[in-house]
Amino acid sequence: MNIGEKTNVVLIGMPGAGKSTVGVLLARRLGKGFIDTDLLIQAHAGETLQTIVDHQGHTALRELEAQVLSGLRCHDQVIATGGSAVYSAEAMAALASDGVIVHLQVPMAVILERVTDFDTRGIARAANQTLADLYNEREQLYQRYADISVAVGETDQEGAVTAVMTALA
């Protein structure tokens, strides 16, 4: 794999890791477009992520996410994925075909501070799963799919962008 030939930067990580916020700033610094896949999923479904989870269940949201990500065809974009993108090998392969996969790694303690709307945020999780359960389950998947893992939990948004830029260089 030659990272230099890929035109997209794909951000993966936990809810609260800063994928959307850092993604917008990173796109600006890199001169690329920005795509938030949670917004694409909502537009495709015609309802919010939380409504999908409430009415159809978390597996329906994961299936819809996999479908939307697998069909995404774009170039020169920074793509902020939903935290559950890594549950679909097909979706991750599609994203990796023209994208460098960057894991925004944030310690659990910081995620707990940032995610105050866990029950209403539209997070694809089983009804009895805690944020800590989700963290332990997903961190392994993020590490499996990441080309680069960047620790961004102890810095502000601009510091996170700089850390990602450095890792990409």
Quickly count: other Cβ atoms within 10 Å of residue 137's Cβ: 14
pLDDT in tens, 104-161: 999 988 888 887 766 655 566 667 778 888 899 899 999 999 999 999 988 888 999 9
Rounded to 10 degrees, the C-alpha dihedral 31/35/36/37 comes to: -150
Ordered domains of the chain (ranges, CATH): 6-168 (3.40.50.300)
Q: Residue 1 — very low, low, confident or very high, per pLDDT cuts 50/70/90? A: very low
SS3 sequence of the chain: CCHHHCCEEEEECCCCCCHHHHHHHHHHHHCCEEEEHHHHHHHHHCCCHHHHHHHHCHHHHHHHHHHHHHCCCCCCEEEECCCCHHHCHHHHHHHHHCEEEEEEECCHHHHHHHCCCCCCCCCCCCCCCCHHHHHHHHHHHHHHHCCEEEECCCCCHHHHHHHHHHHHC
What's the pTM? 0.90
Give the Å distances, CA to CA, from 163 to 73, 83, 102, 116, 133.
27, 20, 11, 25, 27
pLDDT in tens, 20-75: 999 999 999 999 999 999 999 999 899 988 888 888 888 888 899 999 999 999 99
